[in-house]
Chains A and B, each alone.
Chain A
């Protein structure tokens, strides 16, 4: 039986993983902040037996999922099968490091992108520009940007999967 860490330590350990999970489910940053907070408020109120970090992460994701479903229930009907598929991808990708290893690998892989692809990815994700704005900035056609971004994402996915495995 693992040693039982205190609840505060568990909050610090698992907060980034829960936040990432909520972002992955589709929450914007502010909503992810709010729902993460709610998740841990519920967690801190309930009796809890520590059985290890992975079961704790799963338990917390269960609370977060429930809160998220409550929050989006009015606006969207989500098929259960889709949620299950998403959950299994999250568990696989985030792994025991709760997403840290994936993020580190992504950081390295981003450096391997060629000039224009890298710039397009930065403009899309760091500067949040639309494809037409990126096209204007890079002096390209919109369709060209779309293809460029698709290829860049594919490269990143393959690269990250290789590194994480």
Chain B
């Protein structure tokens, strides 16, 4: 496409339908250019699990902020914590050996032709190769003292330096590099895992209910219904037969045995009835969904006709009737879904998918136990149930793991946020003390309000922490059990 006017139109059409630049882009640019502000911590929004990536990013920022305030300076270089040999060359620093933490405001550092400058955040630098575990272990104490966490480090090798961007951004050899991406990627990965676990769960549930892997099959449902109805008839006959025997039996031991059998048969019959009702409902749901689709298509056609002939009263009436019928069908469909959910105890499953799945596993295990009493006769069903059981267990394990990971991340975030808030509280208290000593009563009063607000925030954080710790403890205990 050579005509620039056409090219402009193309770009504008794309923006018209798919939107312009992300609203967050300007914030991102501004944030990466602004030195970190401790008071921002108080404005952290309510924590929610779906904002995990945001929390992870905040946690890293918080960690850096703690270090900014607490970290001892081993030299007089502003923004640089040095742990090795270096030389000052004008306003810059030439690194010869060792480890360095560069914070916002650090001067440009160079080594063997590589240059790091414009640090807006925190960067860990090592002269030489990317450190292995032993090297990291050897520096553990120094890293810890300077508030650097050893986990999840993403090192890059550039010229003579190994660089790990802890948070924020820096310009390395003229290229801006951002740390946030790392956190986003990690959380996106977690979300993908969780999504996969959910998919596994849905598939397993479908299988457990006798549904088709890739959708509903009316033929298969009919076959299952015939089989289950026949099985139910057999069970009913056995119950009747047992009842007759019970009426005439006098031997107590035999009576006891017959009663036990009777109970099992009744439970089995109940289970079969539920399965039959489930399949019947599913068939009804699929029929209704088809009907709704047909109505929707017809309605769409009618609406386009009406757009062509907006004055046509008959058409308008027809559209209205179809809309009403559709509404009614949708209501009925919703009712059927609710009925089905009730039948399978899905309400509970929605509240906690793991509990729901575990109940299904228990049911399947019981069934399998029964089937294994006649292994040859039930060989096919045993194989099928075992497959389902395996899928369910995998899904449960995946969900447990995702939940644990999420909880651990959340707990770490709250702890870090609490640390940062406490540091900020101490700073405010000191400032208030100085203001009071200096006779600045207005400022002291202002600070008092800020302190109260921060104390409320800290109280909230402590409660969150307590709840989370309890949750983690309970999960661990459950796992041990």
CB distance from A112 to the nearest CB of B (A): 14
Binary interface profile of B, 88-100, with partner A (CB < 8 Å = 1, else 0)?
Answer: 0000000000000
Tell me the B416-441 residues at the A interface (CB within 8 Å): none
Tell whether A51 is near chain B: CB-to-CB under 8 Å.
Answer: no
Look across to chain A and name the residue whose beta carbon is closest to the beta carbon of B13: A125
Which of B4, B14, B169, B307 is A89 in contact with, Cβ under 8 Å?
A: B4
Tell me the A107-165 residues at the B interface (CB within 8 Å): 107, 110, 115, 121-122, 125-126, 153, 156-157, 160
Question: Would you call B26 and A110 a contact (CB within 8 A)?
Answer: no
CA separation between A44 and B118, bound complex, in Å? 11
Question: Would you call B26 and A126 a contact (CB within 8 A)?
Answer: no
CA separation between A41 and B90, bound complex, in Å? 25
List A contacts of B29 (CB < 8 A): 11, 15, 36-37, 40-41, 44
Across chains A and B, the number of contacting residue pairs, with CB separation under 8 Å, is 93
Question: Would you call B20 and A86 a contact (CB within 8 A)?
Answer: no
Which of A7, A16, A93 is B8 in contact with, Cβ under 8 Å?
A: A93
List A contacts of B6 (CB < 8 A): 153, 157
Question: Would you call A153 and B21 a contact (CB within 8 A)?
Answer: no
Question: Would you call A153 and B9 a contact (CB within 8 A)?
Answer: yes
Question: Would you call B16 and A103 a contact (CB within 8 A)?
Answer: yes
CA separation between A37 and B169, bound complex, in Å? 12
List B contacts of A19 (CB < 8 A): 20-21, 25
Tell me the B15-35 residues at the A interface (CB within 8 Å): 15-18, 20-22, 25-26, 28-30, 32-33
Q: A20-B11, A85-B4, A93-B8 are in contact. Are A36 and B30 (CB under 8 A)?
A: no
Q: A37-B25, A45-B118, A90-B4 are in contact. Are A16 and B12 (CB under 8 A)?
A: no
Question: Would you call A103 and B33 a contact (CB within 8 A)?
Answer: no
Which of A40, A41, A156 is B9 in contact with, Cβ under 8 Å?
A: A156
Q: Interface extent on A, as a size class?
A: 35 or more
CA separation between A90 and B7, bound complex, in Å? 10
Look across to chain A and name the residue whose beta carbon is closest to the beta carbon of B18: A126
Binary interface profile of B, 108-139, with partner A (CB < 8 Å = 1, else 0)?
Answer: 00000000001000000000000000000000
List A contacts of B16 (CB < 8 A): 103, 106-107, 110, 125
Question: Would you call B5 and A37 a contact (CB within 8 A)?
Answer: no
Binary interface profile of A, 52-63, with partner B (CB < 8 Å = 1, else 0)?
Answer: 000000000000
Q: A32-B21, A121-B13, A125-B17 are in contact. Are A90 and B8 (CB under 8 A)?
A: yes
Tell me the A8-47 residues at the B interface (CB within 8 Å): 8, 11-12, 15-16, 19-20, 23-24, 26, 29, 32-33, 36-38, 40-41, 44-45
Look across to chain B and name the residue whose beta carbon is closest to the beta carbon of A94: B8
Which of A33, A38, A82 is B21 in contact with, Cβ under 8 Å?
A: A33
Which of B2, B21, B307 is A15 in contact with, Cβ under 8 Å?
A: B21
CB distance from B140 to the nearest CB of A (A): 34
CB distance from A142 to the nearest CB of B (A): 18
Which of A12, A44, A103, A126 is B12 in contact with, Cβ under 8 Å?
A: A103
Look across to chain A and name the residue whose beta carbon is closest to the beta carbon of B17: A126
Tell whether B176 is near chain A: CB-to-CB under 8 Å.
Answer: yes
List A contacts of B176 (CB < 8 A): 37-38, 41
Question: Would you call B22 and A99 a contact (CB within 8 A)?
Answer: no
Tell me the B146-181 residues at the A interface (CB within 8 Å): 169, 171, 176
- Please list 21 pairs of residues, one from A and one from B, whose beta carbons are closer than 8 Å in the complex, sorted by A's number: A15-B21, A20-B11, A32-B21, A38-B176, A40-B29, A41-B32, A44-B33, A89-B7, A93-B5, A93-B8, A99-B12, A102-B8, A102-B12, A106-B13, A115-B304, A115-B307, A125-B17, A126-B17, A156-B13, A157-B6, A160-B9
Residues of B that sit less than 8 Å from A by CB: 2, 4-9, 11-18, 20-22, 25-26, 28-30, 32-33, 118, 169, 171, 176, 304, 307
Extra contacts besides A41-B169, A86-B7, A90-B4 (17): CB < 8 Å: A7-B33, A8-B30, A11-B26, A15-B26, A19-B20, A24-B7, A33-B21, A36-B25, A37-B28, A41-B171, A85-B4, A103-B12, A126-B18, A153-B9, A156-B9, A157-B9, A160-B9
